[in-house]
Structure 1
């Protein structure tokens, strides 16, 4: 492969989630076009620094407007015809569906799709599924089926999603593979000293109800009645998603003294203050990047026994799994760390060991590049041996 167009719905994600991959592709001699609809000066410069060419295109990140989406797909096909890449890689729902279809229309020789979780449409909110949600799920499933039939390989992050897509007839068994997460740079996300006083719980996520934020705050209220010194930190910005929390909701929790909310910030410094990372999500995650980062920094994890989330914790080893929406279980596990603070350090060490075993971004990038038929031995990727097997 000489050139690749990576198609995203958000420029920031190209740097934050695909930065290491872009760098490693460029090091392997691949010309990378990085397509996004919302470039600004800083993100454009960051993509250039990674070794890619930033390319603007039109796409609405959220919502469904069939006419607009069809026009955007056609314009994207024309753009790809002009760029003439050897392959495309789309990630997130719209780039996977519309990007793959556009690449097929443009006759791009190889087309790859990365499914990073099932997302909002397929997340069960615990109540009765509305007719609108059922219709939307049906429409998205059909669009996935059409698009993935035109992809040469569909790449998944967890086995649950892989199996769901195969069982649902959305992708053929021979066209799917699972890489187990996008990984983190283990040198950048290095272990930090354990924090035992005060015990500090940190949750980092987009402010969506499905991320378990309401359950986290309810657990904080209960724990603080017995242990008012314990800190609860919520990191993340407001989100336009239909299930996004409002500023008034979050500020009310802050004013009540339940949580600290610095907003959308760089999380590394806050993870250094954390005793335990918490993600009580029932969102259809791929494999949460935030949890991988916390594990790399030697933080034990409390998360849910839900697709994607369960792939980050060996229960009782590097943290605990709790049932979704179970505040009682969440409180119980928080109290375990408060009552046995020595677990913060011992389980944190196990998190780092698991991160090294499962979530080394360099090894994962080699798997992904092998899937896309990139010659990873051509120039190497920062010294990582190019001999990893593709699962």
Structure 2
């Protein structure tokens, strides 16, 4: 007899499944969603998973790094969680082959109608495992190119990028549809041959933002507070943010600059020593990592994301939803989120002086700050409501 574990209960010490498919006839489709990092299933895919369940589909979520909190949060959505062994970064042929085989065996036992992967390894390895398991329908969501393709400077990085492109092509060839968050990523993968010719693609507005969860609040009083929010990766433009902050404080010492974020296993992540060196002179306040960024956004006046490339930057959407001004770059993915001078400010990638100039505009004009924040919020409501985005994704998946 098949069983369902009670909500919040998981057994991370054994490889036996935490959930077994009911033997009874089912309505809708059985869908497996595979992510690279378990908390992202709730933080970024929660509205999508909930929409699938609301339409009568049986949904199972899989990812590495599961926790009891993730299991319980997904159970509240009506989604069982199964942990998988899949390293988020690096390429280890033996370990990765073992992960694909193990995942294929589990998918074969579950018998889903559709497997959907997002982020690079779940897209590639999940698609291959689904093909091995004879899953009839397979799809990929490209949420950004990742550092393997976006940060290519050294000879080693060029080798890694070449391998990543080949793997992408192999994985995406197994998919009926590939969903992108911007046209630049689609065109880049097509140009380099990583996207098979003739592949069916769709464009969606990121993962959207939960407008009720990230409710707007009035701008705080006092001198402006600028906030950088996200993983502590070099290609997020942290060095440019710190340099720009120093330039601004030389003219406006009343301005405050903060970083809230976390270290990442990605090789492009800052080390603790590198972060300590950046903030040693006191220009930047490091707020640490947090599970809830809303208090930090509520205390800030503007979000700053000087990223080199994104899919659709979630932090920008959250800031706009909460009525905060945004400064970001003309990089792919970033430039689509705001209209320069109307609902945000755009600066060139890697240009700390232009970034500082944009910050000074907000320091100098409370009216501009207020206008950008209000227009950004209206744009979030109009274009990035997570429920609307989920409907677009489900249409692309034929669910």
Same fold (TM over 0.5): yes
1:172 aligns to 2:197 (yes or no): yes
1:133 aligns to 2:157 (yes or no): yes
Alignment correspondent of 2:33: 6
Q: Deviations over 1:245-279 (max 9, x none)?
A: 12223234444211111111121111111111100
1:34 aligns to 2:61 (yes or no): yes
CA distance in 2, matches of 1:243, 1:18: 24
Match among 273, 277, 300 for residue 325 of structure 2:
300
Displacement of 1:349 in angstroms is 0.7
Residue 321 of structure 1 aligns to a residue whose secondary structure is strand
Segments of structure 2 that go 5 or more residues without pairing to the other structure are: 1-27
Alignment correspondent of 1:348: 373
Match among 347, 354, 373 for residue 398 of structure 2:
373
Please give the residue correspondences for 1:75-154 in structure 2 after superposition, counting only pairs within 5 Å: 75-124=102-151, 129-154=153-178
TM-score of the aligned structures, taking structure 2 as reference length: 0.90
Residue 309 of structure 1 aligns to a residue whose secondary structure is coil
CA distance in 1, matches of 2:387, 2:248: 39
Displacement of 1:325 in angstroms is 0.8
Please give the residue correspondences for 1:55-74 in structure 2 after superposition, counting only pairs within 5 Å: 55-74=82-101
Displacement of 1:177 in angstroms is 1.0
Displacement of 1:69 in angstroms is 0.5
Alignment correspondent of 1:233: 258
TM-score of the aligned structures, taking structure 1 as reference length: 0.92
Q: Is the 8 A contact 1:196 1:275 kept in 2?
A: no
Residue 141 of structure 2 aligns to a residue whose secondary structure is strand
Alignment correspondent of 2:301: 275
CA distance in 2, matches of 1:147, 1:224: 48
CA distance in 2, matches of 1:136, 1:86: 33
Q: 1:124 to 1:241 in 2, by over 3 A?
A: closer
Number of residues of Structure 1 aligned to a counterpart in Structure 2:
370
CA distance in 2, matches of 1:10, 1:240: 11
Please give the residue correspondences for 1:325-344 in structure 2 after superposition, counting only pairs within 5 Å: 325-344=350-369
Match among 287, 291, 296 for residue 262 of structure 1:
287
CA RMSD in angstroms comes to 1.3
Match among 342, 352, 366 for residue 317 of structure 1:
342
Segments of structure 1 that go 5 or more residues without pairing to the other structure are: 375-391
Displacement of 1:49 in angstroms is 1.1
Match among 379, 383, 387 for residue 362 of structure 1:
387
Q: Is the 8 A contact 1:208 1:239 kept in 2?
A: yes
CA distance in 2, matches of 1:309, 1:51: 33
Higher relative contact order (CA 8 A, sep 6+): 1
